[in-house]
Every structure is written in structure tokens, then in C-alpha cells.
Amino acid sequence: MPIINRIAEFHTDMTAWRRDIHAHPELGYEEHRTSDIVAAKLAEWGIAVHRGLAGTGVVGTLKGRGEGTRAIGLRADMDALPMPEANTFDHASRHDGKMHACGHDGHTTMLLGAARYLAETRNFDGTVHFIFQPAEEGRGGGRRMIEEGLFRQFDCEQVYGLHNWPDLPANTIAVHPGPVMAAADQFTITVEGHGGHAAIPHKAVDPVLVAAHIVTAVQSLVSRFTDPADSAVVSVTWVQAGTAYNVIPDEAKLHGTVRTFNEATRARIEQQLGRMAESIAAGFGAKASLEFRPGYPPTVNTEAEARVVAAVAAKVVGETNVSWAPDPTMGAEDFGYMLRERPGAYIWLGHGARGNDGHGGPGCRLHNPHYDFNDDILTTGASYWATLVETILPRSA
Ligand SMILES: [Zn+2]
Ligand SMILES: [Zn+2]
């Protein structure tokens, strides 16, 4: 069963929905028009609609045939990015400074396509919750839906997600049996010294020098405190200190990000980062303090569910087009919160690098101002969702 025939018939409609959403991008928690469209279509197809989780979130609930009590959740994200679009085609953004450059217009459309098909056929036994979340891009709409009762109101045994992936050829699928994306945390280290004249340094405690030692030392958190078979990133990306060439300032600040795939490594780096900063500062007679701001958790698939989705993917795109256990990436995903609550799996759906990136590059990646979602994969994604439901919640023979 490759692309489901009935879904192939939706291609023209799905392309029109996708381009309409693309032309009207909305930022996180402001997806009013988009969620109105989603809710109206689900209702039109006879799917029960719940609105208001995390503000603009929409959940559609559809029961299959039979008496099955099992339920699963399928999630799509709806938000755009605060960036101007460089494309000039007809469906380019009509909202200044906002753009669907991550393909969430396509994700929303693919889940709608699957919902329409499943509502027509109901060839499954159990319940599907179609979860349309706001604010994936850094603002934690998925986390907020959970906090506001997503899984209490819509109990799902398992939850599934996907993201288009320009680095993979169109209509291929990659499945990870464990970590897919990293945790993304932020930190600020404040170094307090004692300011003074740059020509009289021995009467001051120089926080710039202390900060420089800290920047160098924290690189050993990965090379000497993290198992070489594990992965982590510690990047100091923003250094703030001083106002003049002849003044030693009182204070220096270091800001940066930590990326990890497992919670133990994440906790150890946080602890060690603070200890290192404090002890280095103490050695210079200064003081340092760490503020660690946890961001998205790692997105980690459960292996049993990953195996199921790999088999479903093979049915849809063919076994040779499914890659198993490719390297994960250090990017982060709000869906990590959902996978912390329920078993499940998040796949990468190959998108292909299309067009050019505006610098003569071979194709657009995510968040590029020339990016546009590839409509050729809409029916693949919708068929994947529908096949997943019919596989996990089969009708008894
Ligand atoms: Zn993105
Ligand atoms: Zn995205």
C-alpha cells in the first residue's frame, strides 16, 4: 500500500490549503486564522472539535468502527517564524515579517488530509486525537497544551509526530530508535569583579580575564566530562563586559546554550558548569554565578514504537526509502515534551532540497527565507498518518 488512492485524490485540495496557510503565516499563540481553518475543516468532516488548549490549540477526536477503547495522538504544529519571506510566487507571505519557513503549513495540511480520509473511511477500531499545536518555534505550545490538560482530557496511549527534512530526498522517511533531537538549554554566567583603571590592574579584580578563563574551561565539559559515545554541545555565544578601553569593568556576563540527548548528561553539565565558573572565579578573587534556563527536553523515541512506525513507513514509501537510526541532530523540538509523557515516535519525512538558498546553494534548508514546503510530499505524509492509524488500531477481522 503506497500512497493511499483516496488521499492521492486530495492532492489538489491539499495543495490549495497548504498555499493558503503559507500566504497567511501566524506566529506562536497567534494562530487564530489557521486554527479557525483547522477547526472548520475537522467539523465539516464530522470530527469532534475541541479548542482553546494553549490558546489557539485544536484537538479533533475521531472514533473508528467497532468498540475498541484504545486511543492514539497525532500531532502537527501550526506556527510560522518572525522573518521576512524572500520568495515572490503567488502564495508568498502576505504578512510582513512573518513566514512559514519551517514547513508547519505542510505539517498542518498533511494531518488535515489524513483526518479527512480517516473520517470518510473509519477503517480502524479505537480513537484518534488529531493534535494541532501552537507555538512550536521556541515558545513551548506543546508543553502548554500538556500543562493545560491535553493528556488528561484526551488520553492517548501513544503519541506521534513528524517533521519535513530537506536534507533527505523527497518521499523518504528516517526513523530513530532513540534520540532524534537534542535538549536546548540556555545559560548566563555573571562574573563579579572589582572595577578600576586599566593601567592599575593590581588594584582591581578583572572580570573580563576571569570570563575568558571560564569560556576556555567550559569547553572541557564536552571533551572531558561527557562520555565520548554520547554527544553534547556547550557554546558560549554572547559575551558582555565593559564600556571603555581604559576601564576594567565591575562585571562580565557570558551567555550560551547547552545541547544534550540524555537527561543525566544534561544534569551533569548544568552542575559542572556552575561549579567550574564559581571555582575559576574564586581562584581570581572574583565571584561567579550560573543561571541555567531549561528549554525543550530531548526528543527521544521509544524503540518499540519506532519499530512500528518504520514498518508503516516501509508500507508507504517502500523499504529501500526508509533509513533506520541515522544520526540525530542537535536542533530541538517541542514534541520532546509529549514524548516525555507518552511512548511514541517522531519521524523525519524527506522533503528534498529545492530551489536555491539565495546564495547559489543547492537548495533551501529550514528557516531559509527562500524555503517553500514541497507539495509533492503532502500525500505521502497524509498516507503515512492514515496507515499508522490503520496499523496501530486495526479492525478485527
Ligand atoms: Zn523551525
Ligand atoms: Zn519546524
Full 3-state SS string of 60-77: EEEECCCCCCCEEEEEEE
How far is ligand 2, taken at its centre, from the CA of residue 188, in Å? 26
Asked if 201 and 248 touch (Cβ cutoff 8 Å), the reply is yes
**Which ligand approaches the C-alpha of residue 335 most closely?**
2
pLDDT for residue 360 is more than 90 = no
Distance from Cα 174 to the centre of ligand 1, integer Å: 18
pLDDT at 4: 87
Mean pLDDT of the chain: 96
Helix or strand run (H / E) with residue 336:
helix 335-341
Please report which confidence band the pLDDT of residue 354 belongs to, taking 50, 70 and 90 as the band edges.
confident
Report which secondary-structure segment, H or E, holds 38. helix 32-44
Share of the chain above pLDDT 70, in %: 98
Using the CB atoms, write b or e for 331-366: b if 16+ within 10 Å: ebbbbbbbbeebbbbbbbbbbbbbbebeeeeebbbb
pTM: 0.92
The DSSP secondary structure of 119-178, one letter per residue, reads: HHH--SSSEEEEEEES--SSS-HHHHHHHTTHHHHS--SEEEEEEEETTS-TT-EEE-SS
Give the bridge partners for 350, in sequence order.
165
pLDDT at 292 over 60: yes
What's the gap in Å between 240 CA and the centre of ligand 2?
31
Q: How far apart are CA 116 and CA 11, in angstroms?
A: 12
* 1-58 pLDDT per residue, tens: 578 899 999 999 999 999 999 999 999 999 999 999 999 999 999 999 999 999 999 9
Measured between alpha carbons, how far is 144 from 114 in angstroms, rounded to an integer? 25
Q: What's the pLDDT tens digit per position in 2-17?
A: 788 999 999 999 999 9
Q: Are 284 and 210 in contact (CB under 8 A)?
A: yes
Report the amino acid identity of residue 154. F
How many angstroms is it from 102 CA to the middle of ligand 1? 5
Long-range contacts of 262-266 (CB under 8 A, 24+ apart): 262/179, 262/230, 262/298, 262/300, 263/183, 263/297, 263/298, 265/226, 265/227, 265/230, 265/232, 266/183, 266/185, 266/298
For the residues 85-114, what does the mean pLDDT come to? 97
How far away, in angstroms, is 289 Cα from ligand 2 center?
33
Residue 123's pLDDT band (cuts 50, 70, 90): very high
Q: Ligand 2 centre and the CA of 31: distance in Å?
A: 15
> For residue 3, what pLDDT is reported?
85
Which ligand is closest to the CA of 82, given by its number?
A: 1
